[in-house]
Amino acid sequence: NGLLVKDVIEFNDAVKHANPGDVITLANGVWNNAELVFEGKGTEEEPITLTVEEKGKVTLEGNSNLQLAGEHLIVEGLVFKNGYTPTNAVISFRKNREEMANNCRLTECVIDNYNNPERQVQDYWVTIYGQNNRIDHNHIAGKKNLGVTMIVGLDTEGSRKNNHSIDHNYFGPRPTYGNNGGETLRIGTSHHALENSNTLVESNYFDRTNGEHEIISNKACQNTFKYNTFYECTGTLTMRHGNETMVDGNVFIGNGKPSTGGVRIINETQTVINNYHIGLTGYRFRGAFVMMNGVPNSPPNRYVPVIDSKLENNTFINCDHIQLCAGSDSERSQAPRTSEISGNIFYNENKNDTFTVYDDISGITFKDNLLGENGVSAIKSGFENAAITLVKNDQGFLIPKSDKIKNEISISPKIATKANTGTSWYSKADNSVALNTGKTIKVEPGINTLYEIVKTSEAGDIIELEDDGTYLITKAVKINHPLTFKTVGAKKATVLFERMMAFEIQNGGSLSLENVSFDGTKSPDYAGNSVISTSKNSMIDNYKLFIDNCEFKDMVVNHSFDVLRVSKGTFADTISIQNSTFKNISGHITALDKETDDIGAYNVEYLIMKNNTVTDLQGAALRLYRGGKDESTFGPFLEVDHNTFNNVGFGKKNKYNAAISLYGVQVNDIQNNNFNNTKGLNMHLVVGEPIVNVVNNNYYKSDEVIVTGDQKYNIDKLYNLKPEFNA
């Protein structure tokens, strides 16, 4: 009853004839475009098993996937990589809507960077249907395209009250997706929110699963989340729909990373107990703890008000934001009722008051909570100050100690760790290479020397240009791994280019430019040139772009010559432009507004523009656009500081009619800039309680700030002085 199969035909034959107790073994090697349907009826004592000849030596690649259907099936050891599923799931616990898998187990399987190359094309990696299935010790990492990583579906009766166990899985890094649809686990949907799912999610490790603000989106009733570890995750375990959720004994480790969060409560009879949170910095919907306002008489797919819920015996160490009645607005006007916050420790060494209260909290009972010695709260009762110290325990956790803490705080030995989750045979190491971590290569001035050197470079390399050297590019330089270009010496090297772009950032590429001058006089006499362009195709990997101490000049051979031109379907983690000069340019520095579907997508998470001088720019210095009203993401984050803009934005083709045009940006920090004889700053504030600080800017003979939309903002210290520049 053991059968080694070498291809899909043999596999199908083996499946067809499989009896209880049989073991079907995939032979070592690459299985390309293998769409496996594993169906059969095993028994509890004698399941049918699908395994591999040697773990780690069987890979499913290309357009491969797996469907399970039947009873008592075990799948172990499959590795999906180097490809993507042509269907909507990599592994599915059903063959079709009628034929599901029950009493089955998926264990020690791997799905690693198995992404559709179109980041905006949706798929799932694991879809769980049926009942009594166990999904354990799998390694699931690197999802980058649209769609939840793992879902539990409840769309038929046979998938409800399912008693599934999702345990000891390693959910590896999932980078910011830049829109809704980047969740790591979802149970249920709004359509079936009031069904009982009865799913146990236990001892899983969530390692930087940062796709969006819902790490887990719970959308059904009676689920339990225990002993999971959330490591540096920029989101929360969200009880989006459904009631009677138990969140018990989980650990949230933020390490002070931006936007890291804890638990968010919506709906009824939710219980959050015995959880440990440390170093979480997120605010608003990504707070360390968030209890939301609801919509009165809400339909199940909006926001059901919080009632009968409790936050008890949890520990918050150095967590910056506890958010109560969050999301309060004209629609979400119902504050929580008959709920309780008790027996928790809120200890912060750097911040005295971590509570933000957005509405009436009289429906929440506070008692027996401890604050640190300097802790304060506007909430008058139910809090006590305590002299707290932190002591590292055997597991390495900092445990608060105080004579006011009655029961010793402890972390369950069942808590997920990197070691006790996933598989032992598939590495969890991070293979990404950062900028400036490679070797230094010198490149001679000349024609296409830059093009040639890049072909032989490796990720992280630093390419050094010659002091005052001249580099002509007649072929666009493709950047498909992280590379730095810099001039060493006082006189910047000059780069000229005959193609519509000097550099094209392709999937996997990141670019740093330091101390280089770019001259547009050799560029083609067509509209639409740019110094840097992203791939026109979708890029599944987020990229980074740093420009420091560079010069961009004489880019007027035709109209619409931009410095950076991005495409739809690309997303930058960071674009930083600092200490640089821009002069005589017919287009924009950059227009980051290619996501026009208005579903919440945008082109960059962090944009920094600092200490630059921009002169005679016909287009806008910056256009940044986030359309739609989705609340799943919290960017873009914008910092514009200490720049000087002279004669910017007056070109006939500058359709933004501004030097800086912002739409839907979530964090707007615009400080200490000089606008001189320049178009102004337009800002449309539309969703998400954006942070807006426009402070200490000078507008001389320039348009000032125009704000539209319906959100609050702070504009202060706006001057109209004539700037004087030293020569």
Among 596, 708, 714, 720, binds its own copies (CB under 8 A): 596
Among 55, 351, 568, 684, binds its own copies (CB under 8 A): 568
Token output for 110: 């791997």
Q: Is 96 near its own copies (CB under 8 A)?
A: yes
Q: Is 33 near its own copies (CB under 8 A)?
A: no
Among 307, 447, 608, 707, binds its own copies (CB under 8 A): 447
Closest approach, Cβ 240 to Ca ion, in A, equals: 8
83 with 63: CB under 8 angstroms?
yes
Where does residue 651 rank: exposed (0-12), middle (13-18), buried (19+ CB within 10 A)?
Answer: buried
Query: For the CA atoms of 74, 76, 80, 84, what is the dihedral angle to 10 degrees?
Result: 10
DSSP assignment of 348-401 equals -SS-S--EEE-S--TTEEEESEEE-TT---SS-SSEEE---EEEE-TTS-EEEE
| Residues 68-87 close enough to bind its own copies by CB under 8 A | 86-87
Among 273, 599, 686, 687, binds its own copies (CB under 8 A): 599
- Give the H/E segment covering residue 566: none
Binding letters toward its own copies, positions 569-588, x by CB under 8 A:
x-------------------
Among 1, 33, 43, 88, binds its own copies (CB under 8 A): 88
Pairwise CA distance, residues 694 & 194, whole Å: 45
| Residues 266-305 close enough to bind its own copies by CB under 8 A | none
Q: Is 444 near its own copies (CB under 8 A)?
A: no
Closest approach, Cβ 309 to its own copies, in A, equals: 27
Largest CA distance in the chain: 88
Among 466-474, 476-484, 584-592, 629-637, the segment contacting Ca ion (CB under 5 A): 629-637
Cβ proximity to its own copies: between 561 and 699 the closer is: 561
Among 180, 510, 661, 666, binds Ca ion (CB under 5 A): 180
561 with 586: CB under 8 angstroms?
yes
Among 138, 176, 180, 457, binds its own copies (CB under 8 A): 180
The neighbour count for residue 96, using CB atoms within 10 Å, is 9
Cβ proximity to its own copies: between 127 and 354 the closer is: 127
Among 54, 384, 430, 597, binds its own copies (CB under 8 A): 597
Pairwise CA distance, residues 644 & 618, whole Å: 15
Among 25, 67, 92, 632, binds Ca ion (CB under 5 A): 632
Closest approach, Cβ 594 to its own copies, in A, equals: 8
Cβ proximity to its own copies: between 451 and 552 the closer is: 451
Question: Of these partners, its own copies, Ca ion, none, which one is at the site of residue 29 (CB under 5 to 8 Å by kind)?
Answer: none
Among 178-186, 388-396, 543-551, 699-707, the segment contacting Ca ion (CB under 5 A): 178-186
Rounded to 5 degrees, what are φ and ψ at 456? -100, 0
Among 76, 123, 202, 214, binds Ca ion (CB under 5 A): 214
Residue with tokens 């929110």: 193
The neighbour count for residue 230, using CB atoms within 10 Å, is 31
Among 1-9, 173-181, 396-404, 537-545, the segment contacting Ca ion (CB under 5 A): 173-181
CA distances, 431 to each of 12, 141, 146, 353, 574 (Å): 36, 12, 22, 39, 19
Q: Is 121 near its own copies (CB under 8 A)?
A: yes
Token output for 607: 């944009």
Closest approach, Cβ 94 to its own copies, in A, equals: 12
| Residues 640-669 close enough to bind its own copies by CB under 8 A | 653, 655
Say how many residues touch Ca ion, by CB under 5 A: 3
DSSP assignment of 238-284 equals EEEE-S--EEES-EEE-TT-TT---EEE-SBS-EEES-EEES----G
Token output for 479: 């950047």
Q: Is 707 near its own copies (CB under 8 A)?
A: no
The neighbour count for residue 604, using CB atoms within 10 Å, is 24
The neighbour count for residue 232, using CB atoms within 10 Å, is 21
Q: Is 500 near its own copies (CB under 8 A)?
A: yes
Positions that interact with its own copies (CB under 8 A) = 86-88, 96, 118, 120-122, 146-147, 180-181, 189, 191, 447, 474-476, 498-500, 524-528, 536-538, 559-560, 567-569, 593-594, 596-599, 628, 653, 655
Positions that interact with Ca ion (CB under 5 A) = 180, 214, 632
